[in-house]
Structure 1
Amino acid sequence: MSEIPAAESAPPPAPGAQDHLALDFVNSAIALPGGQFIDYLGTPESANRWLTAHGLAPADAGVRDMCATRLRSMREHLRALFAARVDGVPAPPAALSAVNAAMSKAPTAALLYWDEKNGPYRVAPCPTNEILDRALASLAADAADLLTGPDADRLTGCGSSPCNRYLLRNGRRHWCSTRCGDRARAARAYARRTRTQVTTD
């Protein structure tokens, strides 16, 4: 599969991504027709841009190769959990462990500090080395909320091959974008024509 620049043919965010950051994160690797592929976390620079665009890191966070690798690893764990939920099968233990570890690494409450002149105050700590831990914790927590919340039954995979994205289903719609829906309808029409030709020959 070849990786292509995201701007060239990236589909719009899948239904539900505006409400669940984890859904957009899981969909940050996109399979396209013709063996093409978009990976918004493919390089440290693109991973930094994705985190910044989603309010999870400053533009100058300086994401390194190891950080991008950790992000991609978490994405695969979340994809495994989404697939397990959609397919109604047990979750892979390694994926559950990775998500729970991510949620426990970053403090969720602002810590208490004491200033000699002004007294006590609270601040959420976020030194540079904790930016990734905080981002992973936010993504993992959002995924856990999605998988256990009222939207969980609407979670489904896009029904248009080769698309690998997830979405929250509205009614009978099983496609993440108009483009995927058009492609699925065209494939069905082609299959019907082919069957008709075979039976008439």
Structure 2
Amino acid sequence: MRSVKEHVMEEPALPPAQGEEEHVSLALANSSITLPGGHTVDLLATPARANRWLTARGLAPVDAGMLEMCTTQLRSLREQIRSLLASRTAGLPALPAAVAAVNDAMTRVPTAPLLHWDDEKGPYRATPHPTTAIVEHALAALAADAAELLTGPDADRLTACGSAPCNRYLLRHGRRHWCSTRCGDRARAARAYARRGRPGAE
């Protein structure tokens, strides 16, 4: 049996899937993309790439200085969210560990503006966001968005791309079940090829 070697490519070959602009957690889930021929695009493969990904979505400054440990946390949350999306689209029970991971990320940082007191200006409220907690705040925002996606009105539109081997998720628009035009073309070509191979087909 011939083994397929996995190649990690430098740049994504697909445009954002439907729904990624509305839900950053969907973009996170789709940040590791399986392409034909055993190729994989991982936008979080290195700390620098993870920093760029977060910066592009307003979740971290350009000079956040991501460490490998932080990148590992981000990739871990990605897998837990992917697990929840898979459970939701298949109508299956969610893994308790995935639910716990999302809840843990959401509750790791304060969500309410806390009371502070300035000796000169007096009391005021602000949400703490120290530079040492950039990743924690990013993870919390991603987890909160995932919870909203899974429980909000868009949940019924959530689906997996119907063109193998693509592993991306999207919000269905009409009857469309593909994350990109290219995946749609590949799926239609596969169906046409299958029809030609049936007995009696012209």
TM-score for the superposition, normalised by structure 2: 0.94
Deviation at 1:67, TM superposition (A): 0.6
Q: Does 1:182 align with 2:157?
A: no
Query: Secondary structure of the equivalent of 2:116?
Result: strand
Deviation at 1:199, TM superposition (A): 4.0
- Partner AA of 2:9 in structure 1: I
Q: Are the aligned partners of 2:115 and 2:124 in contact in 1 as well (CA < 8 Å)? A: yes
| Counterpart position of 1:172 | 175
| Counterpart position of 1:20 | 23
Q: Does 1:83 align with 2:86?
A: yes
TM-score for the superposition, normalised by structure 1: 0.95
Shift >6 Å, 4+ stretches? none
Deviations 1:83-116 (A, max 9, x none): 0000101000110110111011011122221111
Deviation at 1:32, TM superposition (A): 0.6
Deviations 1:3-56 (A, max 9, x none): 0011xx521111111111111111000001111110011100000000000000
| Counterpart position of 2:9 | 4
Query: Secondary structure of the equivalent of 1:70?
Result: helix
Deviation at 1:122, TM superposition (A): 2.1
Aligned partners of 2:49 and 2:114: how far apart in 1? Answer: 31
% same residue: 63
Query: Secondary structure of the equivalent of 1:151?
Result: helix
| Counterpart position of 2:156 | 153
Note closer, same or farther for the CA distance 1:62–1:174 as it changes in structure 2 (3 Å cut).
same
Q: Are the aligned partners of 2:195 and 2:201 in contact in 1 as well (CA < 8 Å)? A: no
Aligned partners of 1:175 and 1:12: how far apart in 2? Answer: 12
Q: Does 1:109 align with 2:124?
A: no
- Partner AA of 2:71 in structure 1: A
- Partner AA of 1:150 in structure 2: P
Aligned partners of 1:80 and 1:111: how far apart in 2? Answer: 33
Q: Which of 128, 141, 161 is matched with 1:138 structurally?
A: 141
Q: Are the aligned partners of 2:33 and 2:41 in contact in 1 as well (CA < 8 Å)? A: yes
| Counterpart position of 2:3 | none
Query: Secondary structure of the equivalent of 1:126?
Result: coil
Number of corresponding residues: 197
Q: Which runs of 5+ in 1 are unaligned?
A: none
Moved more, 78-87 or 114-123: 114-123
- What's the Cα RMSD here? 1.3
- Partner AA of 2:172 in structure 1: R
Deviation at 1:131, TM superposition (A): 0.7
